[in-house]
Amino acid sequence: MSAGVGADVASICSKCGDVWHVVVAKVGDKIAKVQCKQCSGYHRYKSPLGATADQKLPATSRAPREAAVRQSPVERIEKPAVAADLSKPARPYRASEKFEVGERVDHPSFGQGIVELSEPGKVTVFFGSGRRLLAQAKEAAAPKAELARPKPFDHSNTAGSKPIPNQ
């Protein structure tokens, strides 16, 4: 005879991995739902000994999937939008440098990546963990004309001013 509702039972928690639980619900003589004493999570009863298929409760009824509607499997791993330029070695990433599309970048946190888009001040790089928007040097500005030193201003008696009388 299995434990009644409210009794302690050993079950494997899917959240924290603890085994001590309280029985919350039963279907007939079989335990259906338990609550973890460690994390207070609710889940189906999972025997720590590993239940066989005939001992498990049936899954809730679902609408059958139609085989004709199946689509091709979704590709899980994204690919970079541009091909890497393998003729050049990967450059270490520095925000003070400018990068070109197709160039390989070696980032200290994200690893090696490929530059997909290069704009003034920012660059989009494809890494194995996903795309990242990173800073880069802006376009070099056109050289400006040399600034000239202003002429000194004469603060002495200016034309048209009247001396202030002493009082």
Are the CB atoms for 115 and 102 separated by under 8 Å? yes
Whether the predicted pLDDT of 46 surpasses 50: yes
Higher pLDDT, 149 or 17: 149
Average pLDDT, the chain: 77
- Identity of the residue numbered 144: K
Least Cα distance to 130 among 109, 149, 155 occurs for 109
Average pLDDT estimate for 47-67: 55
Q: What is the pLDDT of residue 98?
A: 92
Higher pLDDT, 112 or 160: 112
Lowest mean pLDDT across 1-5, 61-65, 121-125, 139-143: 61-65
Q: Which residues in 11-110 belong to E strands, given as ranges? A: 20-27, 30-36, 42-44, 91-92, 104-107
Are the CB atoms for 82 and 101 separated by under 8 Å? yes
Q: What is the pLDDT of residue 53?
A: 41
Q: What is the pLDDT of residue 26?
A: 84
Q: Which of 5-9, 21-25, 59-63, 163-167 has the highest mean pLDDT?
A: 21-25
Least Cα distance to 48 among 11, 81, 103 occurs for 11
Whether the predicted pLDDT of 134 surpasses 90: yes
Whether the predicted pLDDT of 52 surpasses 50: no
Contacts 24+ apart (CB under 8 A), 18-27: 19/48, 21/45, 26/2, 27/57
Are the CB atoms for 98 and 84 separated by under 8 Å? no
Q: Residue 6 and residue 78: Cα distance in Å, rounded?
A: 49
